Structures are given as C-alpha cells and as structure tokens.
Structure 1
Amino acid sequence: MQRNLKMNLFYSPGACALASQIALREAGMNFEMVKVDLKNKEYAGGDYKKVNPKGYIPALQLPDGHLMTEGAVILQWIADQAPDKNLLPKFGTMERYKAMEWLNFIATEVHKGIGSLFNSAHMNDETKAAIQAKIQLRLGVLDQHLLSNAYMLGENFSVVDAYAYNVLRWTNLVHVDTTNHKGIQGLMAKMAERASVKEAVAAEGIRL
C-alpha cells in the first residue's frame, strides 16, 4: 500500500478514532477525515451504517474500497505500512506479541471500562463505584509499567501509546482520578508534546 494513496478515516470528535488519526500522521500517510454523527449514524454521504454496518468508529476505508474496523487492528495495519517509522515491532517477533497484548488490554480492560462511564446516567451509585474501582485496578497496571518505561513498549513511541493516550484523555471527562498515577501522567505529558497529537486534536477541534 503506497502512503500517497488517500484513505478515509471515519471519526467522531474526541472518540476512539483519535488513536488511528495520530498513527496515520506518525506514519506519514495520506488520508481524509470524515465526520460521523454517532447518535444518528449519519455522515455527509448519508447513512453511515451502509459504510460500516457496526455503526461505530473508527473505520478506515482503504484506496481499493476495502473497509477496516476495530481500532487495535487498524493501528497495527497502519504501523505495518510504514516499517521505517518503527511504530510497532516486526510481525512474528515476541516484541510484537507483547505489543498486541498491550493493545488488547487497553481495548478490553481500559477502553471499555472508562468508556462505560459516558453512559452512567442510568447507573446507581453502587454500580458507578464498582466500575470506578475496577478502572483504578486497570490503571494501576498501566501506571506501574510506565513508572519504569518511558512509553508502553519501552523507550520509544509506538501506536500502543496513541491508543493509551486516546482513552486516558477521557478520564477527565468522566471524573476518573489519575492524580496518584505518576507514570500515566508522564506518558500523557510526553504525548501532548508530539506534533502528531497536536495536529490530531486540532483537526478534531478538541483539547489536548
């Protein structure tokens, strides 16, 4: 896949396509952002579910028309198109499987946990407290790892960091306390200084 062939990234401001956008910018790939109204499942071209039957984002439409969904998979695909950027270890290596392990952990344990609090209006206090407690346990795992690693895979940035940044920036929005997680705070500070992150949040009209 040539990097100069334009792709369409379907997104909603501040949602989980932010990681894919950051990765695309890090890889130097040519893409156009297509905004989706997730509530009504619509975009400028009409019914979004005709594009992605799942109805959510991210979705990346490749130049040949193929549609790729699921953020953790999209991130790996992007990284593999730009091997010279070292956005992920080479496929088949133990380092790559560790990266996949972290991507899966973020997707299933952090993303889903924090994301559930965006729909907390129907929850009672006991349920909210239980979710908050579980999130803190999962954040503790990330924090301990980041206390001894500059980035999720060690000393260098990878697309795993893009995903971590994407979901961790939601903590302020849903009142998840990270003040005692110095490792996480360190990662977020480093990410906020990256050009790709600054460009991505500006493109979506959101804050760092």
Structure 2
Amino acid sequence: MNPGGAVPTLREEDGGLLTQAGAILDFLAHKHPEARLAGGEGPRARADAHRWSAFLTSDVHASFRPIFMPDRSTRDDSDAARQAVVEAGHDLVRKRFGILDGGRSVIDAYAFPMMRWARKLLPGSLEAVPNVQALHDRLAADPAVQKVPAREARR
C-alpha cells in the first residue's frame, strides 16, 4: 500500500493514504479525541507524545535493524560476524526498552509491535523492564488490540 514500500501505512475510508508512524498516530489521536489517545492536554503533554513517537521511530524501531538485517551492518560475511551484529542489536533493543516506560496513549500502538518483536526475538527481554512488560500484557489483553494480530494471521 505504501508507495515507498515501507510500513506503517493508513488507508482512509476515502482511499487516501497516510504514511509515517508519527503522522498516523497524531492523525488518529486528533481524529478521535474522545479516545483520549493524545497523551493528555496542553503543550507539554503533546510534546511528550511527540517525544515518545520520535524515540520509538528513531531509537527503538531502528534498533531492530541489525537483528532483521545483519548483513547491512557488516562487510564480513561470516556467520560469526553476522551473529555478533545480531547480538549487538539485542543489546541495543534491551537498552532502548529500558528507557521506555508505561502510560496509555496513541504511542502504544506503535510500541506494541516492537514489544512483540522483542518477545519473539529476544526471549526474556521484557522481563528486565517490568513497566514495558506490564504495558505489553495490558495491550495484548485488550480485545480491540487482539483484532489486529488475528486479522494479520488470516492474510
């Protein structure tokens, strides 16, 4: 769907496409103010929501790159070199999740997939960050959130 071949992408009912996580989350938060997803009232709350969105985009999401694509992070094509890159990626993801803390907002929609990746790729990684683990568990138990992975599994 995304003309840039990337995720995420939001297709509107009128067929319009919106890309980039921060823009999509901001759009949804303001389109549905009754859901109180913007992170709170006032300029400081809005700035905090943007801060966490940027943190997830530039720090957390990017931390998974060496895990998913180790060949792009080393010129050495040996298995040992690729494994070292993957392990460095694991360390970086753990460090980033150590910074991430709880709080329900639209940003959770962006954090949740990365928390799922961490659980799958780095078993036990969220246990070291109990607030992130608790956020994951709350989101995973939410019936509305459960619809998305179920829909994706049918594809």
1:95, distance to aligned residue in structure 2 (A): 0.3
Give the structure 1 partner of residue 74 of structure 2.
none
Give the structure 2 partner of residue 195 of structure 1.
143
Number of residues of Structure 1 aligned to a counterpart in Structure 2:
145
Give the SS at the match of 1:53: coil
How far, CA to CA, are the matches of 2:57 and 2:151 in structure 1? 24
Q: Where does 1:154-173 land on structure 2 (aligned, <5 Å)?
A: 157-173=104-120
Give the structure 1 partner of residue 49 of structure 2.
99
Alignment RMSD (CA, Å): 2.3
1:85, distance to aligned residue in structure 2 (A): 1.3
2:124 counterpart of 1:174: no
Name the structure where strand makes up a greater proportion of residues.
Answer: 1
2:85 counterpart of 1:135: no
1:95-138 CA-to-partner distances (Å, cap 9, x unmatched) read: 01101100110111111112441223665333233222222221
Greater RCO, CA 8 A, separation 6+? 1
Letter of the 2:93 counterpart = I
Give the SS at the match of 2:121: coil
Give the conservation status (yes or no) of the 8 Å contact 2:140–2:146: yes
Unaligned runs of 5+ in 2: 72-76
Give the SS at the match of 2:18: strand
1:65, distance to aligned residue in structure 2 (A): 4.5
Give the conservation status (yes or no) of the 8 Å contact 1:60–1:68: yes
Identity %: 28
Unaligned runs of 5+ in 1: 1-9, 11-51, 152-156
TM-score, normalised via structure 1 length? 0.61
Give the conservation status (yes or no) of the 8 Å contact 2:90–2:122: no
How far, CA to CA, are the matches of 1:118 and 1:105 in structure 2? 19
Larger CA deviation: 58-67 vs 91-100: 58-67
Larger CA deviation: 121-130 vs 103-112: 121-130
TM-score, normalised via structure 2 length? 0.80
Larger CA deviation: 55-64 vs 107-116: 55-64
Give the structure 2 partner of residue 34 of structure 1.
none
